Structure 1
Amino acid sequence: MSVARPQEDETIKELIAYFTDHQFITVTPHSPTNGKEAEVSYQLTGLIEDKEKISLSQHHAILLSIPFGFPLFPPNCKPLTPTFHPDFDPGAICLGNFWTDKTTCAELVEFISRMITGEVYSKENAFNERAAQWYAAHADNFPLAELAQTAIAPSLPEVREDDFSINFDAISLESSPTDEGQATTPDKERGYNLSLLQEYLAQKRFNQLNRELQAIPTESTFNERRSFQQRADKALLVAQKKQKEARLHEENGETQSALDKYRQALEEVSDLYDVKDNIKRLEQAIILEGKKAKNPLPTKESKKQNILGRISPLPTLILFAIISAIIALQFFKDTGRATSATGLYQQCITALERKEFRTAQALCESAQVKSSASSLFYGKKLSSIEAKSKEILLSAQIRQGLTANLSNKKGQDKKSQEKIITFSTVIAQVQTAITNRDWPKTNAGLRQARSIAKTDKEKKILLQTKAEISFYQAHERALTEYKRNGCKSAEPLLQTAQKKAQTLVGSAIEHALQDIRFSLKECAFQQLTEKGEKLYKTASWAQALPIYRDALEKIKDNPLAKQNSAAETENKISKIALYIMIAQGNEAFTNGEWEQAIAAYKRAITNLEGKGLSDPEEDSAMSSKKLKRIILQTEIIQNQQVGENYKEAKLFAQAIKTYQHIAKTIKQSAFAEETAFIQIQEEMSSDLKMLKNEQFVEEKRVALQRQQIDIFLENYPAATPETLLAPKILFIKDEAGKLIYRMEATDTSQNRPLTLVMYYAYNKATDQWQFAPRPEAD
């Protein structure tokens, strides 16, 4: 029994029958003992790769296998020839979104033929990247359908790796060599191929049909040409109208309506490949991405409420206590630093008023050091103290006061005093120029200070000033490059500036460093998201998830992060987690691990409905509905297997109960009115009827078995219960309202064993047993 599908061997038989006498495609069983596999051969022109050499070939073959869970899962397709195609690799063929549970295997085989000729291929996320690059470079040469009707010389021109080019003209229809004396095909004489045109028409490939008709010379007239052209023109006109309507719906934000119109267009004309891309994009938008305008991202407050709602009170209190303790500790540290810096600054002012210049200098320098460290609670106050302390240290008052003190020292001449004052003045001018980012003045002042500096202290001040200039210049270059050209070129400059600040102190330095740190984090975020996006596009969910989590850490509390970056990254993480759960369910389904598959799908539904994804409510419901449908299908297959096992063990009561449970489950589900599940219910009803009949037949067989020895003894007086060996009863058939059974036993009472055979029939109308003649077929 099946889930709304034929048995696998019947699918292969139907596929073979479908392509019997086909002009280009042949389907044969792959193995006489395996009815689930077929070998499909294509006599079509495509590309092959042999030892990195690309050439044309007219023979391509694939192995098509029907998997467990078909048609929910597509047939497995594996190349048997080295076909060179973006979607082919040695182990599999990527079908993209082509397969649905309504697609037939015949449609799949024909779709792969279009892939081989280059009519269909992926331009992004290809299995074979080298082939994708090759196809992109030679897009004008595809499709190769026009080469499919003629034999190609055994020795084909190879494609060199260095130029990636094929001389298609050299192997065109007109120049293909033929065997000596070979007759020219009638199609070539006519200038067109009627069979090929009919095939395009049947497949609704009206774009290709129109191109073929336009290429046929006007003098080549045939009866079907006008009707072919009319049908192509009409279909293309309808499809264009549908596309236009779809675009209008999309512009108005009516995603579902746009998707419906694109699908209608594709039903009219099957080779609208841009429409296929649009359908894929909108399906993803509806099912997974959602329409953000209808479901705005949750606010920080709502997220906070959701998180708190899920956390039990005790852990919340403990967490709150820990956080409060950390904050309190930091507050006390900052308060102590601010109090100390404020006191030192006030003492500096007092000393300055008393004209104790040396003491004032020491106090202001200490205040400057204390206030230079970053603070969570007193940042502005400490920055103000640092700036004021620095202003005093560079002021004329303290410089003159210190100079006056120096003049009182013995041996200190007036010229030396003037140099000290000049040096202090120049350094003050340099600091002002640094603040204003006036680098010409800064460099000029630095050269002047270098010529004046004599003492070790002055030289130390000069080195410190040079280090600050170097840092601020590097900082400015890095941020300018970052704003202009982004991270790629700015990141090395940012790292250089960060290294230059390792020996520097001060709140201004710390603020500049903070800008660099934020910029580097933003660069790291961009790199991680680019890497994550590549993995995301190739469905490498497990590898992408930790990368996006790292990226999220980089932009938390980063003022340079773009608006909504954190929310979008969190949303992406939630989606990846959803995809991982679905992938786990699919893998378990493929392996027949039903309980694990159901559990994974249910986790995915919980994630989709309760984790704050950005899908609109109705789209989330649509995705949830799809997963719930798969869960129901999984439960049906699981219970069918259980029922089949009961049936094989002749436990008919348990089998009937299982099938009744399946029917009840479907009836109570939201999918009971869907065609596929209506068909399953009909199958269940038919199977239940058959099971009950088999149960009745088995019950009568068991009843007859209890009387078998007595019946043999009554009809074979020479036999005894001890001499009757290996008794058995076989049901033969149900004929004319009678159940006919064959009874056998071996009698060993004579010199040699004798097989005794009797036929007994149960009359269902009279509920009576009687002897029956031997059936003709037995």
Structure 2
Amino acid sequence: MGSQQLADEYTQLRELLELYPHIVLVGTTGQPPDNYEIEYTLRGYIRENEHSISIGEKHRIRLSLPFGYPHFAPIAKPLTPIFHPDFDPAAIRLADYWQQNPSLPDLILHIGEMICGNVYNLNDPFNQEAAEWYTRHSDQLPLDTISIADIEETGAPLDSLTEDTFAALGLESDDFLEPVKPVTPDDLQQIRDLIDSHKIFTANKLLAEIPDNIDFPDREELQQEISRTLRKTDQLFKLAEQLEDVGKYEEALEVIDNLLTIAPDAPEVDTLRTRIQQSFQVAEIDGISAKKTERLQTARDPAASTPLQRRPLSTGKPFAKISSLPIKPILISIGFLGLLIGAISLYFNDQDLLSESQAQLLKGQLLIDKKQFDAALENLETARSVLSNLTILRFKKSAQEKVISELIASQHLQEGLRGRVFYQGEYIPAGLASAQEELNIMTDQAQIFVGQNKLLESLTLYRQAMKFAAEHNLVKQQSMLNETIQSLELRYALAVAERAEREKNWDEAAAAYRNALTISGNIQTLGSTSDITNRMTAATFRHELDQSKKAFTQSQWKETIRYLEQAQQVITVNPTVVTEKERQDLHRLLINSRLYLTLSTAREAYQQKNWPAAIEEYQNALNLLATEPDSATNMEEESLGKIEKTLLLVKIAQLQEAVVVAENKGDMHTALTHSREILRLIRTSNYQSDPTVKIVGQKINEKIAKSQQIALQNEKIAWLEEHFETIFRANYPTFKGSKLSQPKATFSKKIGNSLIFNLTCLERSQGSTSKLELHYQFDTSSGRWSIYHD
């Protein structure tokens, strides 16, 4: 969840807790908060010590929002010794509730219901002792209730009819806008199997595709296991690159083998392995060349390594004995031996010469390979000149000399002596080949970055390569590099745009798409301008849609509708840039925004007691839903019913106001007519059994009965004042000649079926005035009048 969403949730939580004085947010950490400390002032069981359970009034818990929230439920820990089946000292069971209702404010209220014993689970409890206690004391539960703070009454008659029903509609969230895609057990098992076979990256991709609002028991465990392995593979990947940089190729390859053992589907590993193997092979070749050079040097100077061993010419016998030996045969033998030794000496000398020639030949070949052509020619000439000193083995001269002459006359050496080398199928100047070789090293490294999706680093190297090619007049390479750079710039611009879209940075996304359009105009073969235009149109659509959702969340209905209508215009011009689902989502969100605007307008009229306007807007809301059956289907039946019920209550409020006005004017007949109309509305509605509506009906019935009683009293008072002379003269015959005036009748009391009235008038006779008074009663059962005596 992003920082702004966390901040909005914190604001909603504070506003909610203002309605619940018994639940207090005592502390938070993080900006925006990701840890909450909540205090409940409720009656709930606590453990005072090992053997004592009592009822406490104050309880505290801490809520921590984990990585992956709201996909993963908050972690709750009691800070006071709450004694409850779903509480243990380190945790509170919340996962099941969170799966059904992932709302932090509702969760805090739910924990309060748990504390006071209104909610508890006896199946597989965290605290078995608490479960047994709650079972034994279930008749005492709940110990308390969570209630909204009392709202001050205004004293107006209408306020007793109903509370502000709009706030209770439950339409504030747009959870119903996007139906949740079901996840089957086979999908989850596939992820688990991939993890078991160490295909971590594939498993991570599939897990990320499951929406955050879909939870399952071991999701957090799977995510943690995947995260641990991903961190390990990242460490091994970096270690292998570091070992490669310092030339420890065998160790680097061993690290790569370990990486593939824990994550054989890790991306880019094969590329890294191939690169290290190639570097290792090059290093081995360099080592072999050094040893070969050493052997050649040894072959050229064999005396330095193995001195010639010659046998002595005499046995060391005393000269005195020679005189007795046959001199001539001995001298002949000595002469033959001398010749033999000479021949052997010449043979070994020729062998040394051949070895030296061969060594110079091999060295010349190596120098040619190293492109040291002048030194190579010198060594080859030395090899050929040495052959002129052969004696006994002179017959081997021609073959060796032919090999040397062919090598000296070879095109490779002759071109090299002229400063040209064989490069990519042709002989070119050595400086140019060296420049191309260096250029290839730069482009190869750049291509490695491309393979690693490091586009910016790759572009930097390719631009350096372009500058290098220009400096060394590599025209052909410049053309190819320019095409590659433009292709990568387009790719990078699109990557920047896509990243900005994911981050919902729409201005950056639009700028990146415009840049991509500019680039694509220069490289028609590398990308489709229309495709980029479509992407930019889609980004504009999603920008408007995202802005509308933000406004929707903030209940800014007019702004929401404006953004949605702009998004509708975008896809009207180019309808193929978005999916059918996105078009349906847009339409559904637009309908619901219009619905909420209508309800908001109705609410304002309701609060201002502008009953006709409120009735019209609530009726418009119902009409809108009637014309959009899909929206009505997606809306919860309870919410739809609340709108209908609110409309009924507003109509009742309008009639009740008319009742009050008629009563103030003393027009009881009109008041009764309006009251009976209220009862008719209730009887013909679908909510006559609703508790709120039923209470209203009861009050109206009581009011009608009272009004009928008052109307009857007024009717009898009028009759008494109209017939007062007849009544007084009939009951007081002595006043037959007097003048009677100013009659006044008042209701006194009711006894049984009799209504008792007090009737007075003024009697004037012979210049004096007196007040006459009598008590008269009307029997409602018989309909007769008579004098009443106390």
* Same topology, TM > 0.5: no
**Normalised by the shorter chain, which TM-score bucket?**
0.3 to 0.5
TM-score by length of 1: 0.43
TM value normalised by structure 2: 0.43
